[in-house]
Structure formats: structure tokens, C-alpha cells
Structure 1
């Protein structure tokens, strides 16, 4: 696994790149929508200051690491960030991580997350990752459909008390193996 941090990727409709300060308004729109964030562990942003704090605290620190994949999904026709794809819990020794994504609801059902996540998985495979996992709340089957479309296979379900929302969630875990 080589060391790289969120290298630029491009698909027919998308540019996948690091978030920048110029994306703060888009970042706010993604993370402030209650519907979009229903099945995510954090509470929606209430202010632009929260978006800026997230960018400065979370994203900028990720972009300083030797290995990270924290992408803004930029929709080419509009030239703006409409969502994200990220790899969390990167384990360099085992060459694995956990895929996550989110998309503004105005862009749902267009195959955007499938296209973006597929491009990121291709890059991870090329970079020597052994396997990738992803989970979704059982009440969000559309996320599971994305996982299936990008080649992930269902493994099992489990329950967890999700923080900071403090709710019990049943997750389906999916996995894709790059090394047989």
C-alpha cells in the first residue's frame, strides 16, 4: 500500500478531490440537511461556523496524514461539491478501511454516489488495499444498494448503540476483497 492522500480522481460526470475553504457553503449544505444526515452518526450542522470548524478540525487534519481518502464529490455540470466519499479507519498493517458517503438529497437517484464510490474503490484496489468494508442502517436500504452496485457483498448484521445520537441501530455490513 503506497502512501497517498486523496489523489484527484475523475469520472465522466464527477471530479473527486479534497475539500477546500472555497467549499464551505457546499459543506454546510451537505452536512446541515436533516434528511441527508438521518442515517449518519452526527447531528446536522446548525451554522456555517460548524462547517468551518469541521473543515479546520476534521478535514484539514486528515489531509495532513500520509494516507487518507476524504473526497468532495464535485458534480461537473454545476462545478460544486454535492457530497462526499471517505475511507475511515484506515489500517495500514492490514491494508483495509471502511467506506462512507453522503450526498445532498437533490442529487439522489442519479447514480452519483455509485459512480464516485466505484472510482474510489478502483483507486484503493490499485493502491494495494486488501479489502474494504461499509455499513448501512437497515432502515436505509438505498445505501445497501449502492454497496451492491459497486461489487460489495453482504456479510452480516449487528446492533450498536450509536453515538453521539445515542440510538440503537442495526447495521448490515458489506465487504469487497481485492486479494483472493
Structure 2
């Protein structure tokens, strides 16, 4: 699967992406915000992740900046995964791309796809010492559940407090959210 947003191109990872992936994520400030990435993040970790097959119901994407020069620059990763029996949105972006709105834009694109795939409810979270991720989640429509729980962080090597968020996407038939009458029934255009 491929997704094009206003500024970004989301695509599957390929085995030959491992070096660029490694150069973007091998930053302790990035990895410490993830639950399942180890620190230090090695070349072998990047090779393994870059060759992971896509799950059609839980896809993950390399986020790139399309340019006229090839190849497009990898700026991060976004996708869906299963965690504790729920579908979870997750993402990371290279430090030099923080604060540019890329996490918000890429996550919105994946939310639209999640709805098309039939997911009705998603969860997400962030470690309590990463409030910027909470700001992204709120911008894209997630609401705090009021729950803070312990979640293991492989990079930190211990359980850390994680703030939980959720979003209801609605049924797949109302993907664009428009064209409904007062009763919520889709109208013909």
C-alpha cells in the first residue's frame, strides 16, 4: 500500500532501506519514546525492521519527503499494530523533522486508511515524559482516556508511565464524514 498526503509519501519499507532507516532512528532521543525499539539501535535491528512483511490489516509505512531527486528522503515511520488486543497507532520521526507537522499529517493519512480497512476504534499512547506526542494525538482527534499505565520500554529497559488515548472512527461506510442527513444516513450526491 502507498499513501500520498499533501507533503508526504507513505510507502512500505524495503530491505535496501535499512541503512537510511538506521541513520534516522539511531538516536537515543527518538528511540526512548518507543516501546519496542532497543537502544542502542543497531544495523541488525534496522535490517530486521526494513524487511518485515506488511500485514494488510495492520500496515506500517516509511514516511518520505518526495523530491525530484531520487531516492526520496526517509523522515520517519507510522503504522498500525496490535497491542493488548487493541489496534494501536504508532509513529516516530527523525529529530531533524520534529516540529514540522509531519507526525500529524502522516498519522491523519493512516487514520483515513484505518477507517477504510474497517477499524472502528484505535488506541495510542505516549510516555509521560514525551508530551509532544500527546499534542499530535489530540490534533488528529484522539482523546485522553484518563488512564496512565505502566508500559515496558525496551530502549529504557524498564516500565515507564504511559498516557492512554483513544479515537472512535465510526463505520467504514461513512469514510469522509460528510453527506449525512440529520438521522445520520448517507445522502446521494
TM-score (norm 1): 0.82
Would you say 1:142 and 2:137 are equivalent positions? no
Larger Rg: 2
Matched, 1:173 2:164: yes
1:119 aligns with 2:109: yes
Residue number in structure 2 paired with 1:3 = none
Aligned residues: 166
Structure 1 residue aligned with 2:26: 32
Distance of aligned partners of 1:153 and 1:163 in 2 relative to their CA distance in 1, 3 Å threshold = closer
Structure 1: runs of 5 or more not aligned: 1-6
CA 1:48–1:89 in structure 2 vs 1: closer, same or farther (change >3 Å)?
A: same
Offset, 1:90: 7.5
Following superposition, the deviation at residue 175 of structure 1 comes to 0.8
Structure 2 regions of 5+ residues with no counterpart? 172-189
Cα shift readout 1:3-62 (whole Å, capped 9, x = no counterpart): xxxx21101110011011232122102331111112212323554233113333xx23xx
- Hey, what does 2:75 align to over in structure 1? 82
Note if contact 1:86-1:100 (Cα within 8 Å) is conserved in structure 2. Answer: yes
Q: Please, what TM-score do these two structures have when normalized by structure 2?
A: 0.79
Determine helix, strand or coil for the equivalent of 2:107: helix
Tell me how large the CA RMSD over aligned residues is.
Answer: 2.2
The Cα of 1:161 is off from its aligned counterpart by 5.0
Q: Structure 1 runs of 4+ off > 4 angstroms?
A: none
